[in-house]
Amino acid sequence: MQRVILTTAVAGLLLLVALFSACSINESDVEELGALKVSAMDTTQGITLQRGQVLVDNVPSSTRLPVEVGSLPSGQYEVTIKPGLLYPPATKTVNVDPPETTFVDFLFSADTPPSTLTLESNTPDAMIVIDEQFQPTIEIGVPFLIAAGDHSVSLFKEGHLTNSSRLDLTLLEDEEYTYTIDLTAAEYGNQTGDLFPDFTLPDDWGGEQTLGQYRGDVILVTFWFYNCTPCREEFPTIETVFQERAADGFRVLGINVGWYNDDQAKFEAIRDELNLSFPLLFNTYGISWTTDDLLIGTAPTNFIIAPSGKIHSRRGQITYESLNDLIDEALGN
């Protein structure tokens, strides 16, 4: 009897050691992640730049500077910055070596010969959007100087559809360009074919996101909340497609429905847990906006917005295949 008890005890001890060892191996297998910190300076004036579109491997990360892009596996990345009208776009190839942060500093001079661009439209009070940033000081039909290089250009006005996708332009130094983008008045609504209502909402990075700044892109507006299981299930799929299709002009805005007390801590927790890189927005308009105006009763609710600004599709949970199909359809819409 004593031998049986002793054998059983030894077996139990060995099992605990094996389980502990397995747990240790699993923990050591977790991939370390690094980060990039991107900043820019005007060397002519000696000032730090605070605005500019930042892209990592063609995926937009921010329009505010400096910015830290985290949760990056070890490897080589292409960092592009488009810091405004007076500075040419620039790209650097850098290495990320987790868990360290790689600093990427861009130096610009405002004395580079620019291009001259004129935008014409049948809607003279439309807002000009360059590199997904509003340009309130530029007027339709008036030539303006813009740094040579690659830029995305579109027009936006509340209550109007834009009759074309964004223009992806390569502008040369000392050259003059003229492009026409027309708009059409339309009614706001919440169903397929309607103009999706414009909004400006705070994000969990401390800034704001306006739907109109992405006019000309295909946009997924996905409504979620922290404890929503199907939202959590589809977020990694959305992130994958965002990484793969951002270069095609695909953007994602994740808006919290506002039904529960999902605060900044929960936003940061779900971003870190699921490694999300697209903006997460707080619904500061209130529950009536989602439930009454947009008729959202369940989450997730997903709207695919065509480059024109109209709703291409409205549906619940989406898959990798269905989202890619909808993007392709909307690009041709």
Predicted pLDDT at 171: 96
Domains and CATH numbers, the chain: 34-108 (2.60.40.10), 115-185 (2.60.40.1120), 200-331 (3.40.30.10)
**Helix and strand totals (H; E) in the chain:** 5, 24
Predicted pLDDT at 52: 87
* Closest alpha carbon to 162 in 180, 132, 184, 193: 184
Q: Residues 5-28: what's their mean pLDDT?
A: 43
Written as six digits, the tokens of 30 are 């977790």
Predicted pLDDT at 333: 57
Contact 162, 136 (CB under 8 A): no
Predicted pLDDT at 16: 42
User: Left (φ > 0), alpha (ψ -120 to 50) or beta: where does 208 sit?
Assistant: beta
Q: Residues 191-205: what's their mean pLDDT?
A: 95
Q: Residues 237-250: what's their mean pLDDT?
A: 95
Per-residue pLDDT reduced to its tens digit, 31-57: 788 999 999 999 988 999 988 889 999
Q: Residues 268-280: what's their mean pLDDT?
A: 93
Contact 73, 33 (CB under 8 A): yes
Per-residue pLDDT reduced to its tens digit, 303-332: 999 999 999 999 999 999 999 999 999 998
Per-residue pLDDT reduced to its tens digit, 275-295: 999 999 999 999 999 999 999
What's the mean per-residue pLDDT of the chain?
90
Contact 324, 240 (CB under 8 A): no
**Is residue 23 pLDDT above 70, yes or no?**
no
* pLDDT > 70 in the chain, percent: 91
**Is residue 10 pLDDT above 50, yes or no?**
no
Predicted pLDDT at 135: 95
Contact 217, 164 (CB under 8 A): no
Predicted pLDDT at 32: 85
Q: Strands 51-56 and 75-82: what pairing? A: antiparallel
Helix (H, G, I), strand (E, B) or coil at 323: helix
Contact 53, 66 (CB under 8 A): no
Per-residue pLDDT reduced to its tens digit, 72-111: 899 999 999 998 888 899 999 999 999 999 999 999 987 7
292: which DSSP letter? I
Written as six digits, the tokens of 262 are 């999902």
Contact 257, 299 (CB under 8 A): yes
* pLDDT > 90 in the chain, percent: 77
